[in-house]
Structure 1
Amino acid sequence: MTSTHSHAHPVGRLVDGYDPEGDVALGGYAGSLTTYGLVLAGIAAAGSASGHHLVERYDLADIALGGMAVHKFTRLVSKSSVAAPVRAPFTQFEEAAGSGEHVESARDEGGIRGTIGKLITCPFCLGVWIGTAYIAGLNLAPRPTRTWAALFAVTAVSDSLQHVYARLRGD
């Protein structure tokens, strides 16, 4: 099957037929992957230049704490009412979702604004970036990173208890 969008460049021909309707922003996603790779290379270079090396193993407590913290922080960035001004240039408000969260979609304009909008409204996508920052922090600055993680892990536990309490009360 060939795409209705013929590509003269050999790399472009590799993706012909993938998305004949043009629904998937392959260029934006390729840009995101490239940026992510450059960020990883920058982190590695910064660590090497400062004499920091990757730890051989991560403590299970750091993984559990970090998992909760990354989850909570990702939800805050991607869904919270309070972070809406940060997302607004890249997203469009759809509706309130309860618990201080919004449902938003990426702007239809395409380009970098659309790509960023897709990234910051997807907690699963954003989680990779924030998780990367957390692991980098454990290697480059473990004490402040664990403090950050403790703050957001405690908040995640508190939020969970708020939901349990509300359900028990029938709110």
Structure 2
Amino acid sequence: MTNASTIKHWAQREADTYRNGNDRPLSGYLAAMSVYAGAVTGVTLLARRLGFRAPQQITPWDVALFGLATHRVTRTITKDAVASPIRAPFTTYGGVQGPAELHEEVRTDSHLRHAVGELLTCPFCLAQWVATGFTAGLVFAPRAARLVASTFASIAVADFLQFGYSAVQSKE
């Protein structure tokens, strides 16, 4: 047995042991992590090559702004009906989940489709990708990044106010 086939056999055995009979798309997760790592590496190298530097400091205001914006962007991508065409190749429609949100089931016909489907339907999973985008924005175009983040943060605040207003109305 060659080294490559030995490694492949070992990896398959480890994956099967981990899965424990469950359908876990480990190769899809590995592909997604590789894309993320490649994108971060590429953006870092591009910034360095073009002479961009990370901000000297990130203020608590920036953290709050980008946190709210990340929350809203991830909810939009993972749950909004308008964004369903982005998720459609990786999910199937399952119905309405809550106010202005959809429930979708992840397709499992391939490990890559399964992994991307989980990423695109999980706001917690997608948040790291979105927050990384905002962080890159702070390096390349901080004013534009803050402007876009302010828009989505305002929507997040408005959403919470809408839910609060509805809760007060339902108690009357």
* TM-score scaled by length of structure 1: 0.90
Q: Provide the residue aligned with 2:97 in structure 1.
A: 97
Higher relative contact order (CA 8 A, sep 6+): 2
**Aligned length in residues:** 166
Give matches, 1:51-130, under 5 Å.
51-130=51-130
Q: Percent identity?
A: 36
- 1:115 Cα deviation from its structure 2 partner: 1.9
Runs of 4+ residues over 6 Å off in structure 1? none
Aligned-partner SS, 2:23: coil
- Between Structure 1 and Structure 2, the one with more helix by share is 2
Contact preservation (8 Å) 2:134, 2:145: yes
- C-alpha distance after superposition, 1:29-76 (max 9, x if no partner): 111111111011011011111101222421111110000000001000
Q: Secondary structure at the match of 1:17?
A: helix
What's the RMSD between the two structures over aligned residues? 1.8
Say if 1:92 and 1:7 are closer, same or farther in 2 by CA, change over 3 A: farther
Q: 1:110, CA displacement in angstroms?
A: 1.8
Q: TM-score, normalised to structure 2's length?
A: 0.89
Gaps of 5+ in 2: 1-5
Q: Is the 8 A contact 1:7 1:13 kept in 2?
A: no
Residues 154 and 85 of structure 1: CA distance in aligned 2, closer, same or farther (over 3 Å): same
Equivalent residue for 1:19? 19
